[in-house]
Chains A and B, each alone.
Chain A
Amino acid sequence: MTENLPYILTAILIMAGVTYLVRMLPLTLFRKKIENRFVKSFLAYVPYAVLAAMTFPAILESTSSLWSALAGLAVALILAWKNRSLLTVALGAVVTVLVVEQVLVYFQLLSF
């Protein structure tokens, strides 16, 4: 595969260029504050909508078993509800998944 270096490098350049353009254009073109109330409100709600759509239902397939994912989700929801930091919530979910999957492996409901 490495002998095809020109192809690989061009491909990487295309990916990087397209990704950069969609990030760069709005931030550099919109220098002024948007005055329209609807647009302002819309943009204020966008982050929550995007992150919610990215999290569900993808989180259910992010581990080796639906059950460990559900357990991790539950713990993350509780910790987030209690206003814990990003790191605490993320690690809480990870540790929960690890523990639940070990239990599943022990009862032979899951194998790696």
Chain B
Amino acid sequence: MKLTFGKGVRDGLPICLGYVSVSFAFGMMVVEGGLPAWVGVLISMTNLTSAGQFAGLDLILSSGLYIELAVTTFVINVRYLLMSLSLSQKIDSSMSGLERLLLSFGITDEIFAVAVQQKEPVNSRYLTGLISMPYVGWALGTLLGATAAGILPLPIRSALGIAIYGMFLAIIIPPAVKAKPVAVVVIIAVVLSCLFKWVPGLNQLSSGWVIILCAIPAAAFAALRWPVEEETEEVS
């Protein structure tokens, strides 16, 4: 299928729906913390990231230092360095510098995952379409959560918490079933991630570093053991 703007928009819709539920929770936290709704919407529209925003909001509410805010944001979002680097290899080489400057703003976990799954090189039209709906959903969800907190019943809000992970599983499971190297990558990353969660000492590390420390060994092991073919860019 051609990578058009329209296909990007369609591929972005499920991400958008997932985002509405997550940013809804963020909007509620902003207002519950005593900040006006527009502050939450401004954060969502300028940051477009989940864990980083939640941590940043916590720091703002406790009047954290600017340097603390910068370091925390960096550590939680340092995974985007890897994603952006990975995406740079998937992007249409004709994409201009300005387009790269603008579109890199929209690299989130989910947008990245959907973009790198494409068979063809990713062009700017497709990427623009792919970013558009989740961006709107993220801002809109924040606004809804901040202004209408309490309208959604708690059981529904609780159930929506799993949506984002369901989306991740839909991305990683099919290739893991098809290709053994991907399955091994997933298993190593999961085991490491569980160690960082439950082993005393290791579980002091912030989530940003944990993701990096799980992803690098898992991907490096598979890259040594099963290098991808020269002619094809995909893992299959």
Which A residues are closer than 8 A to B by beta carbons? 1-2, 4, 7-8, 10-16, 18-20, 22-34, 37-59, 62-64, 68-69, 72-73, 76-77, 79-81, 83-95, 97-98, 101-102, 105, 112
Q: Is the CB of B89 within 8 A of A63?
A: no
Q: Is the CB of A56 within 8 A of B166?
A: no
Interface size for B (C-beta < 8 A) is 110
Which of A7, A15, A87 contacts B73 (CB under 8 A)? A15
A-B contacts, 12 listed (Cβ < 8 Å): A2-B35, A11-B56, A15-B53, A19-B48, A25-B84, A38-B224, A40-B89, A48-B219, A55-B169, A91-B163, A101-B159, A112-B158
- In the A-B complex, the 10 residue pairs with the smallest Cβ-Cβ separation, listed nearest first, are A80-B173, A93-B166, A41-B223, A53-B214, A89-B170, A90-B166, A87-B14, A16-B46, A26-B84, A45-B219
Cα A86 to Cα B215 with chains together (Å) = 22
Q: Is the CB of B233 within 8 A of A44?
A: yes
Question: Which chain A residue has the least Cβ–Cβ distance from B177?
Answer: A81
How many Å from the CB of B204 to the closest CB on chain A? 16
A-B pairs with beta carbons under 8 A, tally: 311
Question: Which chain A residue has the least Cβ–Cβ distance from B106?
Answer: A23
- CB-CB under 8 A for A72 and B166, given A15-B43, A45-B235: yes
Q: Is the CB of A87 within 8 A of B223?
A: no
Cα A86 to Cα B35 with chains together (Å) = 34
Determine if B100 is an interface residue (Cβ-Cβ < 8 Å): yes
Q: 15 more A-B contacts (CB under 8 A) besides A8-B35, A52-B214, A94-B163? A: A4-B63, A8-B60, A19-B80, A40-B233, A43-B89, A48-B185, A50-B211, A52-B185, A53-B192, A53-B210, A57-B194, A90-B18, A93-B165, A94-B162, A98-B156
Name the prevailing secondary structure of the B interface residues: helix
Determine if B206 is an interface residue (Cβ-Cβ < 8 Å): no
- CB-CB under 8 A for A47 and B113, given A15-B53, A19-B80, A80-B174: yes
Which of B48, B53, B80, B171 contacts A86 (CB under 8 A)? B171
Q: Which of B35, B162, B187 has the most CB of A within 10 A?
A: B162
- CB-CB under 8 A for A49 and B169, given A11-B69, A26-B81, A86-B15: no
Which B residues are closer than 8 A to A by beta carbons? 13-15, 17-18, 33-36, 39, 42-43, 46-49, 52-53, 56, 59-61, 63-64, 66, 69-70, 73-74, 77-89, 91, 93, 97, 100-101, 103-105, 107, 109, 112-114, 116, 154-156, 158-177, 181-182, 185-190, 192-194, 197-198, 210-211, 214-216, 218-220, 222-224, 226-228, 230, 233-235
Question: Which chain B residue has the least Cβ–Cβ distance from A101?
Answer: B155
* A residues less than 8 Å from B109 (CB atoms): 50-51, 54
* B residues less than 8 Å from A31 (CB atoms): 88, 93
Q: Is the CB of A97 within 8 A of B170?
A: no
Q: Is the CB of A86 within 8 A of B14?
A: yes
* A residues less than 8 Å from B17 (CB atoms): 87, 90
How many Å from the CB of A87 to the closest CB on chain B? 4
- CB-CB under 8 A for A94 and B160, given A15-B69, A22-B84, A55-B172: yes
